[in-house]
A and B are shown apart, each in its own frame.
Chain A
Amino acid sequence: MMDIAHRIEQINRHDRHVLSIFLTAGFPTNRNFIQLAVDILQAGADMLEIGIPFSDPVADGPVIQQSSQAALQNGVGLKEIFNYTKAIKQKVDKPVVLMGYANPLLHYGLKTFLDHAQQSGADGLIVPDVPYDEYHNFWNGQTTALPRILLTTPTSSPDRIKAIDETSQGFIYCVSVTGTTGDRNRINEKDVKVLSNTFRLIQNNKMLVGFGISNEQTIHQLKPHCDGFIVGSAVIRRLMDDNDCNSRNTLAYIGKLSKACNK
């Protein structure tokens, strides 16, 4: 099986930017979650990020906070999330990355978590509240074949970006704006400049841009400065609005974004 870095490389080689879609595990429902994920991948997403809900998600804006709260009320836990991952991977051969805050991982046991995540077929892991400085402390020498993906932000210095690039595996999650997750209509010139600088500094990894990506215009605007896009809140918000259980509007929206990722 091809690892996630090579998958991104392969997609880029076909003149396409990667489109990664974020879903909160167990949202809107547990029952239909696997089908929803499969539909999204078939509607044009190149990969999936599955958010492990946490009661206190400080990096997230209102939309993902709300979906996390709803998912927790639906009773989703790590055992279910590993099962979802496995089922999705069996149905569609595309990368699935897990994203979760530190405490639920710690509570589960880091070694067990990494083992179970790998057994589920997950292709990577993002922990938004373990920045580069705490990476070694947090993992405490724990080794794993599961790529651990680090984030950069507009406030990361060039030296930090280089160090993050040395450590991150799989790809780099480049946060486009200073702020929490949430859709924004456009990214301003200053942030675009920062983004292109970051893109130039990163030598070892592919770079996917996330936070505030919500329309085709932004995708076209940022294409020269990254290898792919991550869209979360804008998708979750559409899922909230979609009354039919087929999530028709959401899937149509993903189709449009996917098209924008082609050359």
Chain B
Amino acid sequence: MQPLSAYKWPDAQGKFGDYGGKYIPETLVSALEHLDTVYNQLKQQPSFQNELQDLQNNYNGRPTPLSFASRLTEYYGKAKIYLKREDLCHTGAHKLNNTLGQILLAKHTGKKRIIAETGAGQHGVATATVCAKFGLQCVVYMGKLDTQRQQMNVFRMKMLGAEVRPVSSGMQTLKDATNEAIRDWVANVDDTHYIIGSVVGPHPYPAIVRDFQSIIGRETRQQIRQIENAFPDYLLACVGGGSNAIGMFYPFMADESVNMVGVEAAGQGIESQKHCATLSMGTPGIFQGMRTYLLQAAEGQIAEVHSISAGLDYPGVGPEHSFLKDRKRVTYRSVSDEEALQASVLLAQNEGILPALETAHAVAYLPYLMPSTTREQIVIINISGRGDKDLNTLIKNLDGSLL
């Protein structure tokens, strides 16, 4: 096995070991090759990196704080808990880290029209935001069910000048929105850039999105060394497609003392079939441009999945996570809808931070992790987004129990 210090994936074919690749209609191949070439040139250029860094600092509000969670730490009485505050990014989640990078790519490839898919609406809002800032046309595909459970974000996107197209095929959630965005791109590839919101899809997207999101882990590394003069013992992040998790994990990949846990959505329980625990329960397959772990039904059809959190409601996962699971570099676990709801309350009432329901899944792993930690250890949770968008769901599920 290759030492982790030499971690250099994907390879030239866009593969993370057996995973990843470009399993897409022929029409898109040349656009993906072009994107790959342009990205590889741009990322070497200081002017591109400076332009991006300036946007990250002065528009997105980076660096985001690494907050010591004193009451939460006290609550468990074990390892120190720190929170990486991506919820404080402009638009309320880590998604803007990626869309800022990709809008610059679009600018350099000369594309005038932007499309995106969205689940919870956070990526849709982040895309609509950068399109407004750069004056580009924006179309966001969103499952019809998600437009209902995330009405606030639909309106936010419209306020930002984007067109939101509800998708009523399949389960009317994130996977169907992604299919529709891919079809749009197939038809309009000449003038359109597709801003994928997670580390999924065909190469080079999983690598591009990871690189833009890894600002999370790079800052965290610096911050924890300044504060504690130490490395963290555990990193926790939720995993749907897996972009906030990869963003946090990637810069620590070679630090073998750092344990990483990706927390998936167990929905109504992994025995119920109504879950999105792709890495815990899935098998490798090919879907939406990539070879990766998938939740599959009979005959290799894609399974109907469920999570209370629209952003995790997805039957696939980024190919790099599949690779990291097989390599045992990252541990993947899952928590239920109910546990996530309780974790939202816990974080809100102990730290004054209302997390997104996606993020709450990472927090909900604490009861499993903390008893085995010691007071000398450090746990960092990636607080990938804030929970204002989930108020409707929270009211429906928690109102009454809070009195």
Please list the residues of chain A having a beta carbon within 8 angstroms of any beta carbon in chain B: 54-61, 65, 69, 72, 77-78, 101-108, 128-134, 137-138, 150-157, 160, 175, 178-180
Q: How far is the CA of A221 from the CA of B188 in the complex (A)?
A: 24
* Interface residues of B, count at CB 8 A: 37
Is B27 interfacial (CB 8 A cutoff)? yes
Enumerate chain B residues within 8 angstroms of A160, measured Cβ to Cβ.
29-30
Q: When the two chains form their complex, are residues A107 and B296 in contact, meaning their CB atoms are under 8 A apart? A: yes
Q: When the two chains form their complex, are residues A156 and B26 in contact, meaning their CB atoms are under 8 A apart? A: yes
Interface centre among B23, B26, B28, B294, by most chain A C-beta atoms within 10 angstroms, is: B26
Q: When the two chains form their complex, are residues B299 and A155 in contact, meaning their CB atoms are under 8 A apart? A: no
**Considering only CB atoms, which chain B residue lies closest to A155 in the complex?**
B30
> Shortest Cβ distance from B19 into chain A, in angstroms?
11
Known: A55-B170, A59-B186, A180-B187. A77 touches B25 (CB 8 A): no
Given B25, B179, B190, B287, which contacts A103 in the complex, CB threshold below 8 Å? Answer: B287
Q: How far is the CA of A172 from the CA of B294 in the complex (A)?
A: 31
Q: When the two chains form their complex, are residues A56 and B300 in contact, meaning their CB atoms are under 8 A apart? A: no
Q: How far is the CA of A57 from the CA of B178 in the complex (A)?
A: 11
Q: How far is the CA of A152 from the CA of B169 in the complex (A)?
A: 27
Is B182 interfacial (CB 8 A cutoff)? yes
Known: A58-B183, A180-B183. A107 touches B300 (CB 8 A): yes
Q: When the two chains form their complex, are residues A130 and B23 in contact, meaning their CB atoms are under 8 A apart? A: yes
Given A56, A59, A108, which contacts B25 in the complex, CB threshold below 8 Å? Answer: A59
Q: How far is the CA of A156 from the CA of B286 in the complex (A)?
A: 23
Q: When the two chains form their complex, are residues B301 and A156 in contact, meaning their CB atoms are under 8 A apart? A: no
Please list the residues of chain B having a beta carbon within 8 angstroms of any beta carbon in chain A: 13, 15, 21-31, 169-170, 175, 179, 182-183, 186-190, 285-289, 294, 296-302
Q: When the two chains form their complex, are residues B25 and A128 in contact, meaning their CB atoms are under 8 A apart? A: yes
Q: How far is the CA of A86 from the CA of B31 in the complex (A)?
A: 40
> Shortest Cβ distance from B60 into chain A, in angstroms?
32
Q: When the two chains form their complex, are residues A58 and B299 in contact, meaning their CB atoms are under 8 A apart? A: no
Q: How far is the CA of A61 from the CA of B179 in the complex (A)?
A: 11
**Considering only CB atoms, which chain B residue lies closest to A173 in the complex?**
B26
> Shortest Cβ distance from A250 into chain B, in angstroms?
24
Enumerate chain B residues within 8 angstroms of A77, measured Cβ to Cβ.
298-299
Q: When the two chains form their complex, are residues B186 and A179 in contact, meaning their CB atoms are under 8 A apart? A: yes
Given B186, B190, B287, which contacts A56 in the complex, CB threshold below 8 Å? Answer: B287
Given A60, A129, A156, A178, which contacts B23 in the complex, CB threshold below 8 Å? Answer: A129
Given A134, A150, A156, which contacts B22 in the complex, CB threshold below 8 Å? Answer: A134
Given A103, A104, A134, A178, which contacts B27 in the complex, CB threshold below 8 Å? Answer: A178
Q: When the two chains form their complex, are residues B31 and A155 in contact, meaning their CB atoms are under 8 A apart? A: yes
Q: What are 27 of the A-B contact pairs (CB < 8 Å)?
A: A55-B297, A58-B25, A65-B169, A102-B23, A103-B294, A103-B301, A104-B299, A104-B300, A104-B301, A106-B285, A106-B300, A107-B296, A108-B299, A131-B22, A131-B26, A132-B26, A132-B29, A133-B22, A134-B21, A137-B21, A152-B26, A155-B31, A156-B26, A160-B30, A178-B27, A178-B186, A179-B187
Q: How far is the CA of A153 from the CA of B190 in the complex (A)?
A: 13
Enumerate chain B residues within 8 angstroms of A131, measured Cβ to Cβ.
22-26, 29
Known: A56-B287, A61-B183. A137 touches B13 (CB 8 A): yes
Interface centre among A69, A78, A108, A129, by most chain B C-beta atoms within 10 angstroms, is: A129
Enumerate chain A residues within 8 angstroms of B301, measured Cβ to Cβ.
54-55, 72, 103-104
Enumerate chain A residues within 8 angstroms of B29, measured Cβ to Cβ.
131-133, 155-156, 160
> Shortest Cβ distance from B240 into chain A, in angstroms?
17
Give the 6 A-B CB pairs with smallest separation, nearest first. A107-B300, A104-B300, A179-B187, A102-B286, A153-B27, A55-B301
Enumerate chain B residues within 8 angstroms of A57, measured Cβ to Cβ.
179
Enumerate chain B residues within 8 angstroms of A134, measured Cβ to Cβ.
21-23
A sample of 13 more A-B contacts (CB under 8 A), given A59-B25, A77-B299, A108-B299, is A56-B175, A58-B182, A59-B183, A78-B299, A101-B286, A107-B285, A132-B26, A151-B26, A152-B26, A154-B27, A155-B27, A175-B27, A178-B187
Q: How far is the CA of A51 from the CA of B231 in the complex (A)?
A: 54
Q: When the two chains form their complex, are residues B286 and A106 in contact, meaning their CB atoms are under 8 A apart? A: yes
> Shortest Cβ distance from B282 into chain A, in angstroms?
12
Given A55, A60, A153, which contacts B26 in the complex, CB threshold below 8 Å? Answer: A153
Q: When the two chains form their complex, are residues A178 and B300 in contact, meaning their CB atoms are under 8 A apart? A: no
Q: How far is the CA of A174 from the CA of B329 in the complex (A)?
A: 44
Enumerate chain A residues within 8 angstroms of B297, measured Cβ to Cβ.
55
Enumerate chain B residues within 8 angstroms of A157, measured Cβ to Cβ.
30
Q: How far is the CA of A133 from the CA of B287 in the complex (A)?
A: 16
**Considering only CB atoms, which chain A residue lies closest to B298 in the complex?**
A77
> Shortest Cβ distance from B288 into chain A, in angstroms?
7
Enumerate chain B residues within 8 angstroms of A101, measured Cβ to Cβ.
286
> Shortest Cβ distance from A149 into chain B, in angstroms?
12
Known: A55-B170, A56-B288, A155-B30. A103 touches B22 (CB 8 A): no
Q: When the two chains form their complex, are residues A153 and B25 in contact, meaning their CB atoms are under 8 A apart? A: yes
Enumerate chain B residues within 8 angstroms of A108, measured Cβ to Cβ.
299-300
Q: When the two chains form their complex, are residues A103 and B26 in contact, meaning their CB atoms are under 8 A apart? A: no
Q: How far is the CA of A58 from the CA of B188 in the complex (A)?
A: 14
**Considering only CB atoms, which chain B residue lies closest to A131 in the complex?**
B26
**Considering only CB atoms, which chain B residue lies closest to A150 in the complex?**
B26
Q: How far is the CA of A60 from the CA of B27 in the complex (A)?
A: 12
> Shortest Cβ distance from B204 into chain A, in angstroms?
13
Enumerate chain A residues within 8 angstroms of B15, measured Cβ to Cβ.
137
> Shortest Cβ distance from B203 into chain A, in angstroms?
9
Q: How far is the CA of A54 from the CA of B285 in the complex (A)?
A: 13
Q: How far is the CA of A56 from the CA of B23 in the complex (A)?
A: 13
